[in-house]
Amino acid sequence: AIRSGSGSCLVLDLLRHAACVDARVLDRLVMFLLDMIDGATEQFRPLIYNKTAQVLHAIAQYGTRSPTDSENSMLHLCELFIQRPHSICRPSLHKHLVDCTSLVDCLDSTFRIVTSRCPFNQQLQLLNTFRELYDQSSPGNLMMSLVLWCSILTGLRPDVVFVSNPEKLLNQLMCDAMDWLQHDSLPDTPTLLKRIILAYASVLNKCPEPLDTAVSMCVSNSLNRLLTQALPTEHFPKFAGSWLATCLHSLIAHPGPSRLAVVNQHLPSVLIGPIEMCAPQSQQFETVVTPTLTTVVICLLECIPDLCNPISPGQPASKLCHWQTTSVYEQKVYELVASPLATQVNVLHKLISLAEVNRKSMEDLRDAYLTAFLRLCVLLPTELLTINLKDLVRHSMLAVTSSSDFVAQSAGLRLFCALTDSLSTDILTNRLSTADADDLFVALPKLEQTARPVDIKHVAAGCSSEATRSSAMATAQVRLSIARCLTSMVHLPAEVTGRHRNKEVLPILQRLIDDPSRAVRLEAVRAQNAWLLRT
């Protein structure tokens, strides 16, 4: 039935369900599938491998939903992984795995979940087995063994990390990353780098508190290496930015005070120091802020909003995988990351007003900082939005009214709408000065014009359908935000609304009422009714 290539195999589905709750069925089924992989011809091996990965993933996912019922299943899977690593990492399957990232994601999640549920000795044995497999692998089989070793690292308990020498693990991961960055043109490089970053952050998070001096030095050396020994490869800046953001998450999440010392020691040098060194007249802007550092910082800013993304069970930063976190995580993110970002936006905005040269470079950098700040803050809980309302309103207005960058404007408008959802209309509108309100009304028609829908049937030849849909969704979200913004602004004082009602507001809403997006149309009708009823 598997060899027939059909999408569904009823017998296998039934056995998979049985294996989730019965360790004997699991043993026989998984051993049977691994034997099939080893004995199959090249024609059928990828197909059987896919089915095996699906079965393993289903069993692991069941383990996240029913921890007690699946305890024996996880132990048996771990033993099978230790006994049969070569069946899972066969050299002949390398190309198939490179071409099928969803399959790699599936195995990555499976190994992480299974590892997280195993006791100390099994975790240690699993870790050593797959590291030895990687060290002994031929060049054509390195990718999968390293991916799975990283997956195992993200599921380890803190005590296993401690006895495994965390400094050595961190150094190994950084060396592995730099080695693979040399092979920048290989299609599996981004997949590997992502796993290495997550493993590095997981090990760092699980190191004992206080952080050992050797571990702190390891982090410092890795940071210096990334900022001073930049590799001229396509993936390097993205890797460095993602590594920085993920390590920030790891350090801030941990409740230990020694982590905060590391953040305070290094974050200014990366995020703040270079900009504050700019000469007041900005002539030295591009020489002080080196191209490499600027590129890495831009990539870091793009990753920073991920600090507040929700975590699902089984992800590296989940409680299931023994990630250590604090109940005041979001507050620490605002104080340690968002607040310094806002400060730098203010510094750059002031420098722009004084600049005689390189003004465009500074505007681009300001917009990058501003966008990161806004996209991060929109994910914060309501209580933090209320406490920091003054700064949030000011920076969202700065993005919409002063920036020429569509992404920054969109982020500012989205945060403004999040504030209107979280707070009463009176509190929010009282924070808007008359000048800010006027500027916002004037800016919205330009933003609406930029965000007008594109007919997908008539997009330029060569554009991918996925990219086109993504762009269409983004612009629809902006138009929805414009309509929501106008709904809230109807409550501003009459002398302000009267100046803009007929000139800016109603013409925008008239266009949005005919929008292709139903959500935009509904919000536009709601806003128009509110404005027409306002006398």
CA distance 166 to 479: 49
* Sign, Cα dihedral of 303, 193, 101, 308: negative
pLDDT of the residue at 433: 84
Conformational region of residue 314, where left means phi above 0, alpha means psi within -120 to 50, and beta covers everything else: left
pLDDT of the residue at 183: 72
Q: What single-letter amino acid sits at 132?
A: E
Lookup result for tokens 């993110």:
333
From first to last of its 535 residues, the chain has per-residue pLDDT tens of 565 555 556 777 788 888 888 888 888 988 998 998 888 777 778 888 888 888 899 988 888 887 777 788 888 899 999 999 988 887 766 666 666 778 888 999 999 999 999 999 999 999 999 999 998 887 767 788 899 999 999 999 999 999 999 999 999 999 999 888 887 666 677 888 999 999 999 999 999 999 999 999 999 999 888 887 777 777 888 999 999 999 999 999 999 999 999 999 888 878 765 565 554 444 444 434 456 677 888 899 999 999 998 888 889 999 989 999 998 999 999 999 999 999 999 988 888 888 776 788 788 889 999 999 999 999 998 888 888 888 899 999 999 999 999 999 999 999 998 888 777 766 766 778 888 899 999 999 999 999 888 654 444 444 446 667 777 888 899 999 999 999 988 888 888 999 999 999 999 999 999 999 999 999 999 999 999 997 6
pLDDT of the residue at 98: 60
pLDDT of the residue at 280: 47
pLDDT of the residue at 281: 44
The full set of domain ranges for the chain reads 10-155
pLDDT of the residue at 95: 66
Instruction: Determine the 3-state secondary structure of 315 from DSSP.
Output: coil
CB 521 within 8 A of CB 512: yes
Read off the tokens for 76: 């048996």
pLDDT of the residue at 7: 55
* Sign, Cα dihedral of 477, 478, 481, 483: negative
pLDDT of the residue at 286: 43
Q: What single-letter amino acid sits at 446?
A: K
For residue 114, the number of C-alpha atoms closer than 13 Å in the C-beta half-sphere is: 31
pLDDT of the residue at 251: 96
Nearest Cα to Cα of residue 302 among 222, 251, 244 = 244
Q: Provide the CA 359 distance to its chain's centre, in angstroms.
A: 30
CA distance 161 to 154: 10
Q: Which residues, 6+ apart, have CB-to-CB distance to 513 below 8 Å?
A: 521, 524, 525, 528
Characterize 190-214 residue by residue with b for buried, 16 or more Cβ atoms within 10 angstroms of its Cβ, and e for exposed. bbbbbbbbbbbbbbbbbbeeebeee
pLDDT of the residue at 184: 62
CB 82 within 8 A of CB 126: yes
pLDDT of the residue at 329: 94
Read off the tokens for 424: 């009463």
Q: Is 353 exposed, middle or buried (0-12, 13-18, 19+ CB in 10 A)?
A: exposed
CB 377 within 8 A of CB 415: yes
CB 91 within 8 A of CB 140: yes
CB 395 within 8 A of CB 370: yes
